[in-house]
Structure 1
Amino acid sequence: MTSKDYVVLMQKILHYIEDGVHVIDKDGNTIVYNRAMAELEGMKKEDVLNKPLLEVFRSLDSETSTLLKVMESGKSIKNKKQVYLNMDGKEITTINTTVPLTINGEQFGALEIAKDITKIKKLSDIIFDLQREMSTPDVSIKNKIKKYTFDNILGQSPEFKHALNMAKKSAKNRASVLIYGETGTGKELFAQSIHYASDRANKPFIAQNCAAIPESLLEGILFGTSKGAFTGSIDRPGIFEEANGGTILLDEINSMPVDLQAKLLRVLQEGYVRRIGATKDIPIDVRVIATTNQDPIDAVESQKIRKDLYYRLNVISINIPPLRERKEDIILLTNHFIKKYNDVLNKDIWMISEKSKEVLLQHSWQGNVRELENTIYGAMSMIEDEHVLNHQYLNILNLNKKLNKEKIDINMNNTLDETLKNIEITFLKKALYRNNNNITKAASDLGIKRQTLQHKMKKYGIK
């Protein structure tokens, strides 16, 4: 098989790969250009193959083209953001990994694998603009933004009252706060309440979900960009600058890439931010509230959160208990949501039936308060002329019903060791279920150490 045959074969194989693949030879001519890359750039393969790269992509040059840079330097470029124009002038934004191709130590070309993030970049720009509006001093815009305060938080259980009391105390100082709670427990509600009860209430409050944006874009959103940092970049402040004097909520901090956590730690320690591609440090005064839906200790041990960042954020720790651990609040919250959606849906519900109360109290509420609110909203949407919320309108699906009813397997044909093993596995699974897979709490329920529980989970293949 000739080298030309290899190229044809490679082209056919790469046709089925979802990421864009572009290969040039040592003269800068395209020799491989797969379907995904053609779709990404809005090009036809025949307009690109066997043609000089810079003739096709006229917005690039030897400095801005990662393929030509790698061809010249012989060094790989990983996860590089690139913004350029295709043949029709359409702006394309990609994350590229580009590597030199060599045979017997001699470089003959360069290969680039590209992921299209054009839509994600547009979304991040929209998010940034919205966040900018939220921090603007324009009163007419601010009045449209929903603000939560401690008056919006309802709960009577001792554990919940403790969390609420910690939050109210934290509003009186400027220390960093780490809020832990499962999805739907109201972490952002707590964070906003802390901000609006503090001496920063008249300054910006900006929330950023760390799981929603890729690392390459998240860094720019947090710290800003400088013109020339990458092709197409502009001078733009990040949300740390926009929130100066106020508060930033970093939601799902355990989803932030570890490399970016190191840069965040430096900003928190030094009180300065530096835009991507800039050399100037900009002083900032921002209070950080971080949230995590994973037990912080587990997140540190699994290296989802850097240990040094954890200690920097966890100055004040607030643990919001899940709804299944605050049963006394379920009916209280239900009545609140009935009142709320009576107004929203123009209904006239007076009460809930006893059977409805029983169903609500027995449910596991894996989605917590958010799930309860959506359940009441859905039920009230179906009611027409009735004044009582009856259980048949409650659309509740217990995803763990089978586990709840799981019985210990005692088979007289099994050996004693096998029977004891089955009993232990059942106890472990039920403890993990009751605590929503929180290893620390499950181990406490079982009266064993976390390490012991982790060892047994690994031993029995429990995930």
Structure 2
Amino acid sequence: MSDPGSGFLLKILAPDGASVRRFHLGPGEHLVGSTSEAVVRIEEPGISRRHAQIQVCADGGAVVRDLGSKNGTFVGGRRVREAALCGFTMVAFGSTQAVLQPADPARTDVLLAAGESAGTSPAVLKQSAGTSPEGLTTQGLHPLERLAESLEEILPSLAEGLSTPEEAAAELAHRWIADLPVGRVEILRRGPAGESVVAAASTLDAVPRNAVTLEVEGPDGWKLLLRAPSSARLEPLRPLLRLALASLAARRRTLRPVRPAPPAEEAEVSFPTGLGHEMVRIYRQAGKVARGDVPVMILGESGSGKEVLARWLCSRSRRAAGPFLAVNCAALPRELLESELFGIEKGVATGVEARPGLLERGSGGTVFLDEVGDMAPETQAKVLRVLESPVLYRVGGRTPVQVDVRFVAATNRDLETLVEEGGFRRDLYHRLAAFEVKLPPLRARREEIPSLAAAFLHRETAKSGAMSPGITRAALGALVRYPWPGNVRELQNEIAKAALLLEPGEPLDLHHLSPRVRQEPAAPHSLTLEETVHQAEREAFTVALAATEGDAQRAMELLGVSRTTYYRKLKELGLG
């Protein structure tokens, strides 16, 4: 009889989730199926007679093999033919869910890729020819070998310019969380505004408190942090990890060979976190356009993130090394706006000195015309001339000045209606709107609110040095329900105000929010019971998805629903 502390424990979950069957699997091979010969007998629809095999190996790992079943064997949500596992792992035989974990409780804290990170692939087993089943181990999947394979696959594309350092860093982070015995990966880069996270990935489960951090320094301010239960298996990886950081730094230098230190607000530009499905689609589409030089028109309500998208476009373009200069066309009278855009010559008025405008200073970069719908007709004509011929004249000047800028414009007004009414030039509209994108208001993308609120709270507490564990469920529910007429800007101001009211160590709760935010919205008279339930379910799923960053397993646990119900509701609510 095998030692109950050795081997693995397989927990088969009943379809209704009401009961669990446990099987202790000692060293050796164990058949899973509906046949009476199976060690793990599952008499459920969709289970083949000889469905799969679980082999507990000599080194404490396990191998899951599919035996040609009709409905498949899954590890970590992905269908596999063969996978090497260690530690806590979610598996499924057809639609029957199960958990495979070490029988020794002390080993359940092991952080290994297979099955622990949503969306990552399980490691594929490697077996030398002639190896007997009894002596089979997972040694062929040593972290050093896995790391080398990840670099061989990802770094060539980086060197050939087929991917940016940020894209390669994201690929490496997610690959390493799948291939190395770590719980969290962070790739950082130090800039003028301090260290910023370029890419990060975590396992499904929280990293144990006793985890250690392995820090690897690279050139040009690049750094890698690995969180794991032990650094012993990671120390031999340092040379290859430094090579990866050096490759990222080298590619960054070729992309931006000479660039003065950017102002703080420019240095903070990065891909926004927590985007909803629609915003992800918009950013992906905009990213394709960013590579060219066509003008871009961004439409959307005030505070919906138009300038954030404009800055992101600039950072993804070939003009990323150039300046990003913005002007609010509604904030300045016509004469001042023209001198701000085109510059002014000395002597135009008493005491006036010659000064270049934004279009001149922005050569090689991007000029952002915010609230362009409020621009005076005379100024519109001058901007149109620069778009048609990259030459301008300063206010009061006679000497032509060559400029080379990319225009990105934004407005919260209905430009097509303005054009029809004669308030905006049709030719200018078509030139500026070579690519047009409309940002939905925050109330139409409520799934982003928890992530945005958490980010704003973190920023505010970091400024003040205050400590807060986060936002309560009640406050989060109120934030999600509120319609936010001022969009993201209003949310940011609300969190900033609430953060000032926090006592040390206190979470942001309902009473910290403004009365208008925390009050329950009045339900329309026509709202039926079915509509009320639909609205409540959508709100609950939205909060769960944002709070778990899209992690399906954690969202199911938070909502208390089965896998079948979870995916059915996602589809019904339009969130899948």
Q: Are the aligned partners of 1:149 and 1:197 in contact in 2 as well (CA < 8 Å)? A: no
Superposed displacement of residue 269, structure 1:
0.6
2:369 is the counterpart of 1:250: yes
Partners of 2:411 and 2:520 lie apart in 1 by 27
What secondary structure sits across from 1:288 in the alignment?
strand
Structure 1 residue 326 displacement after superposition:
0.3
Cα shift readout 1:304-345 (whole Å, capped 9, x = no counterpart): 422111100001112111100001111121222222223222
* Offset, 1:138: 8.8
- The answer as to whether partners of 1:201 and 1:246 remain within 8 angstroms in 2 is yes
**Corresponding residue number in structure 2 for 1:336:** 455
1:251 deviates by 0.8
Q: Matched residues in 2 for 1:399 and 1:274: separation?
A: 53
* Aligned match of 1:267: 386
- How far does residue 145 in structure 1 lie from its aligned partner after superposition? 4.3
Distance 1:344 1:202, change over 3 A: same
Change (3 A) 1:365 1:288: same
Query: Aligned-pair distance for 1:148?
Result: 4.0
The correspondence for 1:208, drawn from 327, 338, 346, is 327
Partner of 1:91: none
Q: State the TM-score, normalizing by the size of structure 2.
A: 0.44
CA spacing shift, 1:396–1:139, aligned 2, 3 Å:
farther
Residue 198 of structure 1 is matched in structure 2 by 317
Q: Secondary structure at the match of 1:351?
A: coil
- Distance in 1 (alpha carbons) for counterparts of 2:278 and 2:305: 14
User: Partners of 1:209 and 1:334 in 2: how far apart?
Assistant: 26
Distance apart, 1:143 and its partner CA: 4.6
Deviation (angstroms), 1:300: 2.5
For the Cα contact (< 8 Å) 2:363–2:403, is it kept in 1? yes
Check conservation: 1:229, 1:277, Cα contact below 8 A. Answer: yes
Calculate the TM-score normalised by the size of structure 1.
0.54
Offset of residue 399 of structure 1: 13
Aligned-partner SS, 2:267: coil
Q: Please state how far the C-alpha of 1:249 moved relative to its aligned partner.
A: 0.6
CA contact (8 A) 1:148 1:192 kept: no
Q: Does 1:349 align with 2:496?
A: no
1:30-56 Cα offsets, whole Å, 9 max, x none, are: xxxxxxxxxxxxxxxxxxxxxxxxxxx
Q: Structure 2: where are the runs of 5+ without partners?
A: 1-257, 527-576
Q: CA distance change for structure 1 residues 298 and 401 in 2, over 3 Å: closer, same or farther?
A: farther
**Aligned AA (1:254):** G
Q: Who is 2:299 aligned against? A: 180
Q: Mind listing any 5+ residue stretches in structure 1 that lack a counterpart?
A: 1-136, 409-463
Which residue number corresponds to residue 388 of structure 1?
Answer: 507
2 CA distance for matches of 1:367 and 1:216?
Answer: 30
Q: Distance in 1 between matches of 2:336 and 2:520?
A: 41
Q: Is the aligned partner of 1:149 residue 2:269?
A: yes
1: CA distance, partners of 2:497 / 2:286? 31
Equivalent in 249, 273, 280 of residue 161 of structure 1: 280
Q: Is the 8 A contact 2:484 2:491 kept in 1?
A: yes
Structure 1 counterpart of 2:234 = none
Q: CA deviation at 1:232?
A: 4.3
Residue 375 (1) aligns with residue 501 (2): no
Q: Which has the higher helix share?
A: 1
Task: Summarize deviations over 1:396-426 as a string: whole Å, max 9, x none.
Answer: 5269999x66769xxxxxxxxxxxxxxxxxx
How many correspondences in the alignment? 269
Residue 312 (structure 1) aligned with residue 431 (structure 2): yes
Deviation at 1:298, TM superposition (A): 3.1
C-alpha contact (below 8 Å) 1:183/1:367 kept by paired residues = yes
**Aligned-residue offset at 1:383:** 1.2
Residue pair 1:253, 1:305 contacting (<8 A) in 2 also: no
How far off its partner does 1:371 sit? Answer: 1.1
State the one-letter code of the partner of 1:147. Answer: A
Q: Which residue, 400, 417, 438 being the options, matches 1:281?
A: 400
2: CA distance, partners of 1:307 / 1:276: 25
Superimposed CA distance per residue, residues 337-367 of structure 1 (whole angstroms, 9 cap, x where no aligned partner): 2222232222332232222122112111011
1:149 partner amino acid = V
| Residue 220 (1) aligns with residue 372 (2) | no
- State how far apart, in whole Å, the 2-side matches of 1:143 and 1:187 are: 20
Report whether the alignment pairs 1:326 with 2:445.
yes
- SS for the counterpart of 2:516 is coil
| Distance change >3 Å, CA 138–CA 172, structure 1 → 2 | closer
Residue 248 of structure 1: how far off its partner (Å): 0.5
**1:228: Cα distance to partner?**
4.2
Q: 1:250: how far off?
A: 0.7
Q: Is the 8 A contact 2:294 2:406 kept in 1?
A: yes
Aligned to 1:426: none
Measured on the aligned residues, the alpha-carbon RMSD in Å equals 2.6
**Contact 2:475–2:518, Cα closer than 8 Å, also in 1:** no
Deviates more, 1:338-347 or 1:375-384: 338-347
Contact 1:147 1:192 in 2 (8 A): no
Q: Tell me whether 182-191 or 348-357 shows the greater mean CA deviation.
A: 348-357
Deviations 1:178-235 (A, max 9, x none): 1112111121111111112211122121111111111012111111222344454433
Contact 2:346/2:353 (CA < 8 Å) preserved in 1?
yes
Secondary structure of the residue aligned to 1:208 is strand
CA deviation vs aligned residue, 1:10-44 (integer Å, no higher than 9, x gap): xxxxxxxxxxxxxxxxxxxxxxxxxxxxxxxxxxx
- State the distance in 2 between where 1:271 and 1:399 align: 52
d(CA) in 1 for partners of 2:509, 2:520? 22
Separation in 2 of the partners of 1:144 and 1:270? Answer: 33
Kindly tell me: are residues 147 and 291 of structure 1, through their superposed partners in 2, closer, same or farther at Cα, counting changes over 3 Å? farther
